[in-house]
Chain A
Amino acid sequence: MSDENDDLIPQKQSLFPLTADDIVDNALQSLDEQQAKEVTKKAADEVVRIAVEKRKAEYRSDRAQEEMRNLINNANLLDEKVGDYKINSTFETATGTTSVEITKSKTNFTFVVVGVVLFLLLILLFVLIWLIR
């Protein structure tokens, strides 16, 4: 009788669905020996691949550093010799791409200054005319 009653008591069971970890654990348990070996090998290969990719990225970073140093030198040389210039450079770096745009335009700056001065003179003129009236 008591055994029958025990059967009727609901077993302690989670009401939540399986987590992603549970699914992977279940899948791992269902693999045969050969598959399990392949999985272990692939996981090890991935660790190596990530390490190799990181090393490659570090190399790209060193190269980008060198290229950026050249950019700084070139920009400073241009700055000494030329008034207006624009440089666009792109570098393949460890984690992506860096784009640098450098512009220097003395002509534009002169135009802006002349424009502002003219505008101020015009206002002054209007004020003077208004005062004389």
Chain B
Amino acid sequence: MLYILLAILFIIGLVYLYRKRSPPAKKVSRSQENANLIKVLLELDEEPREQLFNLYKEEFGDNAARYARQTYQKWKAGSVRPNKQTFRRFLIHLPRVMSFDLKCEVLRELREAYCAHDNYRISVYTDDWKETLTPMIQNVVEKALTAELPESLNKRLTWLAEDDVTVANAILAESQARETQNSLMLLEKEFSNIEKVLDNVPGTRKVTHALKLPLGEITLDVKRRRGNE
């Protein structure tokens, strides 16, 4: 009897471990995918967002535009899920009539939301941060230049494969790479400020710097070598 109980407990344990190791894959429904895409689109800055709504009005009339303006905060917050027609209007039809400039801004939002992001956390000393960070940032620059939107998105939004969007993508990639390089230059002064804090403050000091890059974030735990204290 005891052996049977032990065997049952063993099997339950195995099943529990198996389930814990392989959690069921979360499948995102098509309507949720559409809602997420609309949300990304509505992250546009005020000026391009205005352009988008004006274009929406031109293409689909006053009533549709009024409804879109009234509901946009709810779409953005996720409290109302846009229907298929809204998705098609915003992300299939409008891109065909958008200016190149607006298309670039939409693409920028899509890249920020859907291109792979790298997040690192490393410890650096005030005297070796440059040696540690430079290759890492170069790597992020390389990735920004070659970052691509997921294949599934390209299949759904076929306008992403058009020639002008290909060029827009190249411009934005170059732009993100330059922004990343600028961050490295600006870090020099940041570290000088951090070093002053570590040098001049009494007590135990813990300094963390979150370096925000267009396609990722590097969290730095900044330390000062004991010999330098």
Contacts and interface: CB of A to CB of B under 8 A. Distances in A.
A43 B182 CA distance: 17
Interface residues of B, number: 41
Contact of A94 (B189, B194, B201, B205): B189
Given A39-B100, A95-B211, A68 B203 contact: no
A68 B208 contact: no
Interface stretch (B54-62, B109-117, B170-178): B170-178
A77 to B, nearest CB: 11
B106 to A, nearest CB: 13
Question: Which of A26, A45, A102 is packed against the most chain B CB atoms within 10 Å?
Answer: A102
Interface in A40-90: 41-43, 45-46, 49-50, 53-54, 57-58, 61, 64-65, 68-69, 71-72, 75-76, 79, 85
Contacts, number: 136
A28 interface: yes
B134 interface: no
14 contacts: A27-B164, A39-B167, A49-B175, A53-B182, A65-B189, A68-B193, A68-B197, A69-B196, A79-B203, A96-B210, A96-B211, A97-B209, A98-B208, A104-B204
Interface of B: 99-101, 104, 146, 163-164, 166-168, 170-172, 174-175, 178-179, 182-183, 186-187, 189-190, 193-194, 196-197, 200-212, 217
